[in-house]
Structure 1
Amino acid sequence: MFKSIRWRLILIYFLLVFLAMSVVGIYIVSQLEQIQLDMNIKNMSSRIKTIIETSNSIKADNWDDNTDRIQQNINSIQVGYNEYVYVIINDEKKTIIASSVPDTVGQSAFNANQINNYVLTKSFDGSPEHIAPPDQNQYENENENPSSYHMSFPVYSDGNIKGFIYLVNNIEHIYETVDQSKEIMTQATIIALALTVFLGLILSSGITKPIKELTFKAKQMSKGDFDQKVSVKSNDEIGQLGNMFNFLIDELKQSMSSLVQEKSKLETTFKYMADGILTVGIDGNIIHSNPVAKKLLSLHSEDEKYDDVVESIDDKLLLSKLKAKKYHGTEILEQNGETYNIDYAPFMNNQNKVGGVIIVFKNITEQYKIDKLQREFVANVSHELKTPITTIKSYTETLLEGAIEERQLAEDFLNVINSESDRMSRLVSDLLKLSRMDYEQTKWKKDKLNVTETINEISKKLQIQAKNKDIKLHVDLPYDMNICFDRDGFEQIILNIAGNAVKYTPDGGNVWLSASKNNGKISISIKDDGIGIPMEDQARVFERFYRVDKARSRELGGTGLGLSIAKQIAEAHDSTITINGELKVGTEIIITIPELI
Structure 2
Amino acid sequence: MSRDSEPPQDPGTDPLRDPARLAALHATALLGSAPEESFDRLTRIAAEFLDAPLALVNLLDDQRQFAKSCFAPPGWPDDPNSPVEESYCRWTIVERQPVVIADARKDERVRDSVFLRDLNLVSYLGVPLILSNGHALGTLCVAGFEPREWTEREVRLLADLAASVTTEVELRLDVAERRQIARLKDEFVSIVAHELRTPLTSIRGSLGLLASGRLNGTPQAQRMLEIAAQNSDRLVRLINDMLDLDRLQSGRLELNPARVEVARLVEQSMHAVEGAATGVQVTLEARIDPGLDVWADPDRVVQVLVNLLSNAAKFSPPGAVVEVVAENRGEQALFQVRDRGRGIPADKLDAIFERFRQVDSSDARDKGGTGLGLAICRSIVQQHGGRVWVASEWGKGSTFFFTLPREPRPAGE
TM-score class, shorter-chain normalisation, is 0.5 to 0.7
Label 1:291 to 1:452 Cα distance change in 2 as closer, same or farther (>3 A).
farther
- Which residue of the partner structure matches residue 586 of structure 1? 397
Instruction: Please report how far the alpha carbon of residue 369 of structure 1 lies from its aligned counterpart in structure 2 after TM superposition.
Output: 3.2
Distance in 1 separating the partners of 2:178 and 2:361: 26
Out of 302, 311, 315, the residue aligned to residue 504 of structure 1 is: 315
For residue 379 of structure 2, give the secondary structure of its aligned residue in structure 1: helix
- Aligned pair partner of 2:199 in 382, 385, 388: 388
Change over 3 Å in CA distance of 1:298–1:552 after alignment to 2: closer
Partner of 1:8: none
Distance 1:486 1:394, change over 3 A: same
Local SS of the residue matching 2:342: coil
Maintained 8 Å contact 1:450/1:482: yes
Residue deviations 1:354-385, cap 9 Å, x none? xxxxx996233344334333332222111100
Alpha-carbon shift at residue 421 of structure 1 (Å): 0.9
Question: Residues 362 and 486 (structure 1 numbering): CA distance in 2 closer, same or farther, change over 3 Å?
Answer: same
Match of 2:365 among 554, 571, 591: 554
Q: Which residues of 2 match residues 389-428 of structure 1 at below 5 A? A: 389-405=200-216, 407-428=218-239
Whether the aligned pair in 1 keeps the contact of 2:315 and 2:342 (CA below 8 Å) is yes
Q: Secondary structure at the match of 1:580?
A: strand
Residue 305 (structure 2) aligns with: 494
Give runs of aligned pairs for residues 318-329 of structure 1, distance below 5 A: none
Please state whether the residue corresponding to 1:453 is helix, strand or coil: helix
- Residue correspondence of structure 1 range 224-243 to structure 2 within 5 A: none
SS in 2 for 1:589: strand
SS at match of 2:354: coil
1:362 pairs with 2:172: yes
Counterparts of 2:300 and 2:233, CA distance in 1? 21
Q: Residue 587 of structure 1: SS of its match in structure 2?
A: strand
Q: Is the alpha carbon distance of 1:291 and 1:451 closer, same or farther for their aligned partners in structure 2, counting shifts above 3 Å?
A: farther
Flag structure 2 segments of 5+ consecutive residues without an equivalent.
1-27, 31-36, 45-55, 60-66, 72-167, 409-413
**1:527 paired residue number:** 338
Moved more, 550-559 or 494-503: 550-559
Q: 1:407 to 1:291 in 2, by over 3 A?
A: farther
Q: CA deviation at 1:287?
A: 12
> Do structure 1's residue 515 and structure 2's residue 322 form an aligned pair?
no
1: CA distance, partners of 2:350 / 2:43: 30
Asked if structure 2 preserves the Cα contact closer than 8 Å seen for 1:533 and 1:548, the reply is: yes
SS at match of 2:351: coil
Q: SS of 2:172's equivalent?
A: strand
Residue 287 and residue 408 in structure 1: after superposition, are their counterparts in 2 closer, same or farther (change >3 A)?
A: closer
Secondary structure of 2:353 counterpart: coil
How far, CA to CA, are the matches of 1:290 and 1:443 in structure 2? 46
By percentage of residues, which structure has more helix? 1
Q: Do the aligned partners of 1:523 and 1:593 also contact (CA within 8 Å) in 2?
A: yes
Cα offset, 1:457, TM superposition: 2.8
* Structure 1 residues 290 and 566: CA distance shift in structure 2, 3 A: same
Does structure 1 retain, via aligned residues, the 8 Å contact 2:328–2:334?
Answer: yes
Counterpart CA distance in 1 for 2:196 and 2:352 is 21
With the length of structure 1 as denominator, give the TM-score of the two structures.
0.40
1:528, 1:586 within 8 Å by CA — same for their partners in 2?
Answer: yes
| Distance change >3 Å, CA 584–CA 437, structure 1 → 2 | same
* Counterpart Cα distance in 2 of 1:582 and 1:373: 29
Give the root-mean-square deviation of aligned CA atoms. Answer: 3.2
Q: What's the CA shift string for 1:202-249, capped at 9, x where partnerless?
A: xxxxxxxxxxxxxxxxxxxxxxxxxxxxxxxxxxxxxxxxxxxxxxxx
Match of 1:442 among 247, 250, 253: 253
- Map of 1:304-315 to 2, 5 A cutoff? none
Task: State how far apart, in whole Å, the 2-side matches of 1:541 and 1:530 are.
Answer: 15
| Closer, same or farther: CA 393–595 of 1 in aligned 2, 3 Å | same
> How far apart, CA to CA, are the structure 2 residues paired with 1:430 and 1:595?
27
In structure 1, how many angstroms separate the alpha carbons of the residues matched to 2:70 and 2:289?
Answer: 59
Partner residue, 1:567: 378
TM-aligned CA distance change 1:299 to 1:596, over 3 Å = closer
SS of the counterpart of 2:248?
helix
Partner of 1:289: 41
Distance 1:442 1:482 in 2: 23
Partner of residue 183 from structure 2, selected from 372, 377, 393: 372
SS of the equivalent of 2:247 reads helix
Deviation at 1:438, TM superposition (A): 2.3
Tell me by how many angstroms 1:501 deviates.
0.5
Q: Per-residue deviation at 1:298? A: 6.5
How many angstroms does 1:472 deviate by?
2.4
Corresponding residue pairs, total: 259
1:512, distance to aligned residue in structure 2 (A): 1.0
Question: In structure 1, what is the equivalent of residue 161 of structure 2?
Answer: none
Query: Match for 1:467 among 267, 273, 278?
Result: 278
Q: What do the CA deviations read for 1:501-547 (whole angstroms, capped 9, x no partner)?
A: 11110100111111222242211111111111111111111111101
8 Å contact kept, 1:533–1:587? yes
* Percentage of identical aligned residues: 27
- 1:266 maps to none
CA deviations 1:252-300 (Å, max 9, x no partner) are xxxxxxxxxxxxxxxxxxxxxx9x9xxxxxxxx99983469x9799676
Report the CA distance shift for 1:291/1:381 in structure 2 as closer, same or farther (over 3 A): farther
Cα 1:470–1:377 shift into 2, 3 Å = same
Output aligned runs, 1:321-340, within 5 Å.
Answer: none
Whole-Å separation in 1 of the counterparts to 2:330 and 2:181:
36
Q: How does 1:118-267 map to 2 (within 5 A)?
A: none
CA distance in 2 between counterparts of 1:507 and 1:560 reads 23
Task: Check 1:300–1:386 CA distance in 2 against 1; reply closer, same or farther (3 A cut).
Answer: same
* Contact 2:348–2:359 (CA under 8 A) maintained in structure 1: yes
Q: Larger relative CO (CA 8 A, sep 6+): 1 or 2?
A: 2
Quick one: which of 514, 517, 537 aligns to 2:348? 537
Distance in 2 of aligned mates of 1:563 and 1:385: 20
Q: Which residue of 2 aligns with 1:432?
A: 243
Aligned to 1:478: 289
My pick for the range that moved more, 534-543 or 463-472, is 463-472
Instruction: Please report how far the alpha carbon of residue 450 of structure 1 lies from its aligned counterpart in structure 2 after TM superposition.
Output: 1.0
Are 1:403 and 1:409, in contact at CA under 8 Å, matched by a contact in 2? no
Larger radius of gyration: 1
